[in-house]
Amino acid sequence: MSVSHEKVDRIVRQRTGAVELSKAESEALWDRIVDGIEAADDGLVHVATGAKRRGPRRVVSVGVLAVLAVGITVFGIHESSDRDATGLAGLASASASEVLDVTADSASNQASLVPGTGEALYYRVTTWVDESKIGDSYNPGGVQRDAIEEWIGPNGRGFRINGYSESSSSIDGDVIHRTPNLTPFDAEDSIDQRVTLAESWRAIFSFRGLKAIPDDPDPALADIRGAVARRLADRSQGAGPSTKVLGSDFAVLMSLSNLLMEAPLTGDQRSTLYELIATAPGWYRNDGSAKVEVANEGQAKTDGGQEGILISTSMDLSEDEARIVADGERSAQFEILIDPQSGSVLETRIVLGEDDSPAIWFTSDALELRTAAAMDKAKW
């Protein structure tokens, strides 16, 4: 992670609640940070020139936030215990780009999620659909729940588990046996035509292509846009009426969240994806008719109680547009609940109309490296 001179003031304001520093205080705080880091072990931290991805400016590398915390204390600025415990209160009123910038910094410090020898990446996502909000007459008012699990090894091969089949045997004393419903895949060099853009990153990237995504925002955006465009050009997933309203870059935004919730990426790659979401108002091409805005909706929780900051991508729709993409509702939001401290996506949500509760939401239950032995065991 790197923190620039001008970012010091912003971090102080976010973590303390809009504390303003004078120019002299800001310069003194910066000097104290640099002095503290230069005094540290040269093998661990250093002062460098030229910030990756963020322009030619002086930056301080690993460990700066620890020294920044000391600098804040020196000036008598002390945040509340609640902020110490969650880190969310100071970000609840920040801009969406500021929240995502902090999250990107956290993600850059994460260990790589690319599986190595003897490892496998495991993720589990629970999908919820409130059918009373999407006009399903077959089960009006019901909330449908489905869990998807996926394992992928270092060679790009793996399998998806779409629930479990249960059976009993009198031989075992009527013991219920649960057998996973496996869908194997080989993603090493090819995309998976069986999954949609909304379902998996494998709809647009092979494992090899995924590893090649640059950790600089502009070329990364070009890579992802190209992958989405190629898939949308496929007749089976072509640019339908919804894409014509929302624009093809809405599929790019959706793909960014999928990658962050499911994909084997490095910390720098994850950081870059958060930067792309933060700068979406600048690169989002409104080639659809709907106008898109990105906003910080404040603190929120998953059903399981995990806390984060909710970032929304919202659009107001005309009557005709609403009939196409939102079941007649005149507004629609795509929301991402993130934990800025861990750099993780906790949940994504689709909200239709003025009701704040989502119609469809995806909760991240796990995204972690496990052993190859655990992957083999999961098959049975």
- In terms of domains, do 158 and 72 share one? no
Q: Which of 132, 129, 127 is nearest to 329 (CA)?
A: 132
Give the model's pLDDT for residue 263.
97
Residues 345, 210: one domain? yes
- Other CB atoms within a 10 A radius of the CB of residue 32 amount to 17
Return the pLDDT at 112: 96
Task: Please tell me whether residues 211 and 327 are part of one structural domain.
Answer: yes
Q: Is 86 within the bounds of a domain? A: no
| Residue 170, pLDDT score | 54
Same structural domain for residues 59 and 170? no
Burial profile 298-317: b = 16 or more Cβ within 10 angstroms, e = fewer:
ebbebeeebebbbbbbbbeb
For residue range 24-49, list pLDDT tens digits in order.
Answer: 655 655 555 555 444 433 433 333 32
Q: Would residue 96 count as lying in a domain?
A: no
Going by C-alpha positions, the residue among 367, 254, 351, 349 that lies closest to residue 302 is 349
149 and 60 within one domain: no
Residue 4 has pLDDT above 90, yes or no: no
Examine residue 282 and state whether it is found in any structural domain, yes or no. Answer: yes
Q: Tens of pLDDT along 298-347?
A: 999 998 899 999 998 877 666 666 666 555 555 667 899 999 999 999 99
Q: How far apart are CA 116 and CA 314, in angstroms?
A: 39
pLDDT digits (tens, 9 = 90+) for 172-191: 556 677 788 999 999 999 99
- Residue that wins the pLDDT comparison between 266 and 2: 266
pLDDT tens for 136-175 read 444 556 788 889 999 999 999 999 999 888 776 555 556 6
Mapped onto helix, strand or coil, the DSSP state of residue 264 is coil
User: Are residues 185 and 283 part of one domain?
Assistant: yes
pLDDT of residue 72: 30
Looking at the structure, tell me whether residues 124 and 179 fall in a common domain: yes
CB 57 within 8 A of CB 5: yes
Percent residues over pLDDT 70 in the chain: 63
Which of these three, 48, 79, 110, is where a domain ends?
79
Same domain flag for 36 and 162: no
Residues forming beta bridges with residue 120, ordered by sequence position: 370
Residue 106 half-sphere exposure toward CB, CA atoms < 13 A: 16
Contact present, 351 and 333 (Cβ < 8 Å): yes
167: burial class by Cβ within 10 Å (0-12, 13-18, 19+)? Answer: exposed
Q: How confident is the model at residue 254 (pLDDT cuts 50, 70, 90)?
A: confident
Q: With contact defined as beta carbons under 8 Å apart, do 151 and 113 qualify?
A: no
The answer for residues whose C-beta is within 8 angstroms of residue 55's C-beta and 6 or more apart is none
The predicted pLDDT at position 287 comes to 58
Range of the domain at 255: 119-378
Same domain? For 228 and 369 the reply is yes
Q: Is residue 94 part of a domain?
A: no
Last residue of a domain, one of 23, 54, 79: 79
C-alpha 221/C-alpha 272 separation (Å) is: 9
Q: Is residue 98, in this structure, part of any structural domain at all?
A: no
Is residue 30 assigned to a domain? Answer: yes
Whether residue 267 sits in one domain with residue 181: yes
Q: How much is the mean pLDDT over the chain?
A: 75
Residue 113 domain-assigned (yes or no)? no
For residues 70 and 168, state if they share a domain: no
The most confident of 65-79, 89-103, 224-238, 290-304, by mean pLDDT: 89-103
Residues 193-244 pLDDT 10s? 999 888 899 999 999 999 999 999 999 999 999 999 999 887 555 455 566 6
From residue 43, how far is each of 112, 280, 302 by CA, in Å? 21, 37, 40
- Higher-confidence residue of 226 and 359: namely 226
d(CA 258, CA 111): 19
> Is residue 23's pLDDT more than 90?
no
Q: What is the pLDDT of residue 314?
A: 76
d(CA 370, CA 120): 5
Our CA dihedral for 360, 366, 369, 372, rounded to 10 degrees, sits at: -90
Say whether both 234 and 330 belong to one domain. yes
Asked whether residue 245 is domain-assigned, the answer is yes
- Other Cβ atoms closer than 10 A to 153: 21
C-alpha to C-alpha distances, 16 to 83, 94, 296, nearest whole angstrom: 8, 12, 18
Report how many domains make up the chain.
2
Q: How confident is the model at residue 123 (pLDDT cuts 50, 70, 90)?
A: very high
Please report, to the nearest 10 degrees, the dihedral formed by the alpha carbons of residues 274, 18, 90, 87 taken in order: 90
Higher pLDDT, 223 or 23: 223
pTM reported for the whole predicted model: 0.71
CA 108 to chain centroid = 13
249 membership: H or E segment, kind and range: helix 248-262
Strand, coil or helix: 233: helix
